[in-house]
């Protein structure tokens, strides 16, 4: 099967997780909705193209590996909001503010996490493969995107082209190992990875595999995350290849 490899390398990136109160935590691996949204942005789709987003997300099978761990950082944000402040919404309407006078006496505080100097390899395929857009169309969009691409938050732009390669592989793990051979960095003994639950590992050597359940698929018409996706977390041996 044909797989597309993305090389996510940036000074800062964030794979959004569940927002808990004022804490915007991040995941170690990208959500399925983020990958779908990244392709949609490259294709130039609009937010109201909900059916197209949902169809692309449903066809995606993804896995990823942290080929460069980087370090987790936390940003402190604060803003003083007034009763007369207005803002544009994603629905194209101006939104006002409500509440009593005491509502505006304290600043709005939020903490947001991010990864610095990390590098993450993503492998994905489409099922069915021959529907539109196909992998070739997605690869072409990554080369010449309709809009600037970013990794989680708009300021987090990639430091190199996202498209690493299009490869033939039987599984996501096989595709990831083919991607390892194309990464130009020091090779650790093993790396952390996430791959689809139930997919065979084949000849890829894994360690400490554990199953997890994620709610990382977006219900595009409603604008919320829902559903359940089972994945496996573990470590992969870095293949011994001749440079």
> Is residue 120 one of the residues assigned to a domain?
yes
Q: Structure pTM?
A: 0.89
The whole domain housing 102 covers 2-237
Contacts of 36 (CB under 8 A, 6+ apart): 53, 56, 57, 60, 218
Q: Is 158 helix (H, G, I), strand (E, B) or coil?
A: coil
> Is residue 243 domain-resident?
no
pLDDT tens digit sequence for 6-34: 999 999 999 988 777 788 889 999 999 99
Q: Which of 19-28, 38-47, 58-67, 101-110 has the lowest mean pLDDT?
A: 101-110
Task: Report yes or no: 15 and 31 within 8 Å, Cβ to Cβ.
Answer: yes
Q: What is the count of structural domains for the chain? A: 1
| Assigned domain for 88 exists | yes
Q: Is residue 82 part of a domain?
A: yes
Query: What is the domain-level CATH number for residue 186?
Result: 3.30.70.2660
- Tell me if 242 is assigned to some domain: no
DSSP 96-109: ---S-GGGGSS-EE
Name the token pair of 141.
Answer: 């969009």
pLDDT band at 114 (very low <50, low <70, confident <90, very high): very high
């Amino acid at each position: 099967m044909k797989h597309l490899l993305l090389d996510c390398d940036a000074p800062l990136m964030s794979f959004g997780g569940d927002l808990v109160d004022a804490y915007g935590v991040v995941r170690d691996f990208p959500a399925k909705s983020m990958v779908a949204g990244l392709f949609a942005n490259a294709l130039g789709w609009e937010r109201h193209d909900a059916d197209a987003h949902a169809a692309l997300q449903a066809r995606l099978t993804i896995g990823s590996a942290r080929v460069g761990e980087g370090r987790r950082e936390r940003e402190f944000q604060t803003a003083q909001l007034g009763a007369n402040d207005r803002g544009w919404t994603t629905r194209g309407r101006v939104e006002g503010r409500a509440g009593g006078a005491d509502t505006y006496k304290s600043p709005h505080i939020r903490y947001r996490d991010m990864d610095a100097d990390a590098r993450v390899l993503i492998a994905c395929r489409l099922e069915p493969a021959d529907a539109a857009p196909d992998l070739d169309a997605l690869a072409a969009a990554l080369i010449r995107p309709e809009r600037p691409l970013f990794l989680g938050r708009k300021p987090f732009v990639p430091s190199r082209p996202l498209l690493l390669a299009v490869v033939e592989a039987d599984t996501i793990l096989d595709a990831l190992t083919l991607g390892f051979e194309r990464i130009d960095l020091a090779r650790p003994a093993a790396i952390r990875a996430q791959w689809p639950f139930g997919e065979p590992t084949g000849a890829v050597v894994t360690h400490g595999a554990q199953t997890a359940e994620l709610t990382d698929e977006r219900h595009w018409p409603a604008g919320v995350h829902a559903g359940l996706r089972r994945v496996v977390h573990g470590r992969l041996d870095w293949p011994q290849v001749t440079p």
